[in-house]
Amino acid sequence: MIKVENVSKSFGGIQAVRDCSLEVARGTITGLIGPNGAGKSTLFNTIAGVFPPTSGRVILDGQDVTGRKPHELFGLGLVRTFQIAHEYATMPVIENLMVTPPGQSGESIFRAMLGGSQMRREEAELRQTAEEVLDFLKLTHVKYELAGNLSGGQKKLLELGRTMMTDARVVLLDEVGAGINRTLLGDLAKNIRRLNEERGYTFFVIEHDMDLIGDLCDPVIVMAEGTVLTQGDMTDIRADKRVIEAYLGHSDQPEAVADA
Amino acid sequence: MDLLAFGLLFLIQTVPYGIAVLGLNINWGFTGLFNVGVAGFYAVGAYTSAILTAPEQLHSIAFGLPAGVGWLASMLTAAIVAYAIGKICLRLRSDYLAIATIGIAEILRLVIKNYQDLTGGTYGIQNLPRPFEFVGGYGADLAFLAVGIVIVAVLYILIERMWRSPWGRVMRAIRENEVAAAAAGKNVEAFRLEAFVVGSALMGLAGAIAVHASKSVGIEGTEPLEVTFLLWVMLIVGGSGNNKGALIGVVLIWALWSILPDFIAAGFLPLIESAFDLSEENVEDVSRRIPYVRLFLIGVLLQVVLQKFPGGLLREKAPSLAKQPAS
């Protein structure tokens, strides 16, 4: 579904991602873990079109999308959430959701001025969808609250909700669990799995919560120092000495050095 | 001046401000575009209409077309200028856009001032036609005012619809979080350009109507102080993001601006005179300075509103909150 080929990305003298290649298979919930500074978010931003890679290619569903802009990628079915929730603060929760769907006829300025029954019908349908999504996420009670007033966890749910307002094919979740309490996190994982099974979303997930990753993701890709260290299922990853070293630092024992 | 004439003049003068403030609200209130170049678009509109509609001039060309043609053309020209500027400048964010637009507005005004063959330069353009002036007397003023009010009302209705539509929703989303809007598939650059062009077109129309009201145009009529600055105060005091609030801001601020000097002169000058035992020369001096007091007072008002009514007198209200379904 997503194929990253030899992607590098530098910011001035800092090479955040270096010669990184990986693949996210269709229909999977693929995890991406790694210590802070491993380049996970930079890689995500490169895939999502926030900035082009310094070198290398990004392939989405067989199509080269390197350097495409975020709104174009959205049109190709790639949707993302943000590590720090990006809500529309002064807009009510329901409108935060209703913005997302593409191809709304009322987004044309002339239609907007003239109104008309098609726009009203679409709006009614949109509102219906948005209410279903809020129901799904158990956010119905804050429907008319301004999004800026939500708790951190609720904002994260709203991020996930936005991805449900469109027919996404692949969803990039950037630390979707951060700042969410345990109970809610369970719900979130359930929702992600449901979207994966019922709607066939492919997920690519950055997460620091190893339990959540272990619970949801197969396979799991580990990044360290800007490139892929290894990948496999969570049991293998947990046992992998190189992964432990990447997180905890190199040990002074000679065999560990030899391993690395 | 008797009260009726004064009242009519006052209201006629609020019409262009009302139109321009709706345009500025589309820029800033809807989309968050920090356009401080209002005077530039206003001037472009004013001169477009003046050149097209004026009878023969001593210092510049003129076409003698009807005022309505001039008004439409003023919107179109301002829109074209805004499109060209927006294409280049809209990638700049907030304060940088402000710096760019303020500079471009001055460039436009300087071009107008110096291109005498076209604009009359410092001579200006005189004897512009004014719709319904054949009626004569108060009737002419009343009819002109009616035309103005109809235009403002129609624009208000259209722009309210835009506010409540998905188009308005996208604009607010872009204002709140551009990155998220782009990730939600919205072509942020194109939408921002739309808002910029439409808002600027209204500023152009405002300029055109203002110069037909006064039947003449000169570069001093497009001073940023009386156009850009006042409009921003009107929008912020009235309530940015709220069309009704913006129009209330226009009436309120224009009332203060135009009535204050006379009010102070009548009410306070005798007091000052007796309190400080001023000579005749000094009295004259003080009365000359009075108009500047209003700048200070409007500044104070702006401060009070920002402190006590953040968001303005009538605050922005999201459409889904204004019309909650009954269930």
B154 touches chain A (CB under 8 A): no
**Side-chain half-sphere of A121: how many Cα atoms within 13 Å?**
4
Q: What is the three-class DSSP state of B117?
A: helix
A91 touches chain B (CB under 8 A): yes
Burial of B128 (0-12, 13-18, 19+ CB in 10 A): buried
Q: Which of A95, A114, A125, A149 to mutate to test the interface with B (most CBs of B within 10 A)?
A: A95
Interchain contact, A113 vs B161, CB within 8 Å: yes
Choose among B183, B318, B320: nearest Cβ to A80.
B183
B225 touches chain A (CB under 8 A): no
d(CA A84, CA B114): 52
Distance from CA of B112 to the nearest CA of A (A): 32
Interchain contact, B194 vs A109, CB within 8 Å: yes
Buried/exposed A168-201: b ≥16 CB within 10 Å, e otherwise = bbbbbbbbbbbebeeebbeebbebbeebbeeeeb
**Residue B17 belongs to some domain of the structure:** yes
d(CA B327, CA B319): 16
Residue in A111, A147, A75 with CA at minimum distance from that of residue B167: A111
Domains of chain A, by residue range, sit at 2-87+162-259, 89-149
Contact map slice: B 157-186 vs A, CB within 8 A: 158, 161-162, 165-170, 172-173, 176-177, 179-186
Q: Which of B170, B176, B324 to mutate to test the interface with A (most CBs of A within 10 A)?
A: B176
Yes or no: say if A221 and A31 are a contact pair by the CB < 8 Å rule: yes
A109 touches chain B (CB under 8 A): yes
pLDDT, one tens digit for every residue, chain A (260 residues): 899 999 999 998 899 999 999 999 999 999 999 998 899 999 999 999 999 999 999 999 999 999 999 999 999 999 999 988 899 999 999 999 999 999 899 999 999 998 888 999 999 999 999 999 999 888 999 999 999 999 888 898 899 899 989 988 999 999 888 877 888 788 888 888 988 998 899 999 999 888 889 989 989 999 999 999 999 998 888 888 888 888 888 766 555 444 44
Distance from CA of A226 to the nearest CA of B (A): 24
Yes or no: say if A148 and A87 are a contact pair by the CB < 8 Å rule: yes
pLDDT tens digits, one per residue of B245-298: 999 999 999 999 988 877 777 777 778 777 877 777 777 787 787 778 888 889
Contacts of B158 in chain A (CB under 8 A): 113
Amino acid at B153: A
d(CA A207, CA A199): 22
- Strand A2-11's sheet: what is its strand order? A14-24, A2-11, A55-60, A63-64
And the tokens for B306? 């920002």
B307 touches chain A (CB under 8 A): no
Distance from CA of A259 to the nearest CA of B (A): 41
ipTM greater than 0.95: no
Count of domains in chain B?
1
Burial of B64 (0-12, 13-18, 19+ CB in 10 A): exposed
d(CA B140, CA A243): 85
Q: Inter-axis angle of helices B67-89 and B188-214, to 10 degrees? A: 150
A69 touches chain B (CB under 8 A): yes
Choose among A88, A98, A166: nearest Cβ to B176.
A88
The whole model's pTM is what? 0.90
Residues spanned by the domain of B205: 3-222
Burial of A222 (0-12, 13-18, 19+ CB in 10 A): buried
Count interface pairs A-B at CB distance under 8 A.
Answer: 110
Distance from CA of A108 to the nearest CA of B (A): 6
pLDDT tens digits, one per residue of B71-129: 999 999 999 999 999 999 988 877 899 999 999 999 999 999 999 999 998 899 999 99
In the beta sheet, which residues pair with residue B96? none
Say which residues have a Cβ less than 8 Å from residue A52's Cβ, sequence separation at least 6: A46, A66, A67
Which secondary-structure segment (H or E) carries B160? helix B137-164
Q: Which CATH architecture has domain A2-87+162-259?
A: 3-Layer(aba) Sandwich (3.40)
